[in-house]
Chain A
Amino acid sequence: MSLISLIASQKIGDDEVAFQELVATYRRPIYNLLLRLSGSVQDAEDLTQEVFLKAFAAYGRFRKDSSCYTWLYRIAVNSFRDHLRRKGDGHLLLYEEPQGGDCVEGQLEQKDLELTVASALLALPIPQRLVVVLHDLLGFSYKEITQIAGVSLGTVKSRLFYGREALRKILSSRSAER
């Protein structure tokens, strides 16, 4: 990379409108990725804010390949990793229930199911959790996940399988407890 292209990449200026569109499109999936990875509404909100600040700073460099939105998810994954490092122990995450307004009676069962699945996800090792959330919740293809998570296709495939197997075991042991 030349010095000139480095300087050019620092210029953002007029792109704010286009950037707002990017925010409008990706704010929700990025937040939900971080919510299911971290299990904490507060952390997910803070991290989402952080992701878009970083994305804004790096926007000049990435906007040219706008079809490649995976860079945004890569920032989210890296932010989550940094967050775990800052927090110290990433394995002691508990699921925090989102404050989703009043609960109508019919929704109780649905909410219970969400709580069960979301907390089971948090019991997975983080690399498996990441691949399962990216694929099964956000609908990314294996190839897209290789770009977001920075792992090979074979790794995506096996982590997804082992993640699903682990989830199945956790969920069936929890339903047996009742």
Chain B
Amino acid sequence: MFRNCPDPIQLSAYLDGELSERRWLKIGLHLQKCSACRDKLAELEQVKKLVAQLPHRPAPEIRITAQQSPPKAAGKRWLWASCLTAAAVLLLVFFVHLRQPQADDVAGEYLRIHRQYEQQLAESIELLEEVEAQ
């Protein structure tokens, strides 16, 4: 390889046609006059072909029924958990509202609980998404 040879990573991308047109042209011109890069390219191409030639084996049968879906069931549990949490917090807010006559206190308490509720809900949703994403 010479001083003005492209990075071999670029040669690999050239092989895959994954370069901008400008870069692709530039490397193409370089390849015409550099046998070292042509050899490198040929090596990469050979490896690529060997992997591409691996046979695609037939897949097993997939058995899916609605009952057979544990992640979904887990997801539903989390959904229920978040619904129950939401309901419990709403009840609590209502209870606090009844108990506290001073308007300022009620507003402050309401805000605090509301934020807590939002955080809990966000956590539940995160967990649900994790379960689904797995």
Contact = CB atoms under 8 A, between A and B. Distances in A.
Interface string A109-127: 0000110011001000000
A130 interface: no
B66 interface: yes
Interface in A132-178: 132-133, 135-137, 141-142, 157-158, 160-161, 164-165, 167-168, 171
Interface stretch (B29-37, B57-65, B88-96, B108-116): B57-65
B51 A133 contact: yes
A169 B55 CA distance: 22
A73 interface: no
Contact of A142 (B16, B64, B82, B129): B16
Interface in A36-79: 36, 45, 48-49, 52-54, 56-58, 61, 75, 78-79
B12 A57 contact: no
Given A78-B133, A142-B18, A132 B8 contact: no
Interface in B101-134: 121, 125, 128-129, 132-134
Interface residues of B, number: 45
Contacts of B75: 10, 57
Given A10-B75, A118-B54, A137-B51, A82 B134 contact: yes
At the interface, is chain B mostly helix, strand, loop or mixed? helix
Contact of B60 (A7, A49, A58, A117): A49
Contacts of A79: 134
Contact of A31 (B55, B59, B63, B125): B59
A165 B47 CA distance: 8
B26 interface: no
A32 B52 CA distance: 12
Contacts of B62: 23, 27, 48-49, 52
Given A12-B66, A157-B13, A161-B9, A136 B60 contact: no
Contacts of A133: 51
Nearest to A156: B18
A139 to B, nearest CB: 8
B12 A58 contact: no
A82 B70 CA distance: 16
Nearest to A49: B62
A7 B44 CA distance: 50
Given A7-B79, A78-B133, A161-B12, A32 B66 contact: no
26 contacts: A1-B129, A10-B75, A19-B64, A28-B56, A28-B58, A29-B56, A30-B59, A31-B57, A48-B60, A49-B60, A52-B62, A53-B64, A56-B69, A56-B72, A82-B134, A100-B57, A113-B53, A133-B51, A136-B48, A157-B9, A157-B12, A160-B12, A160-B16, A161-B9, A167-B50, A167-B51
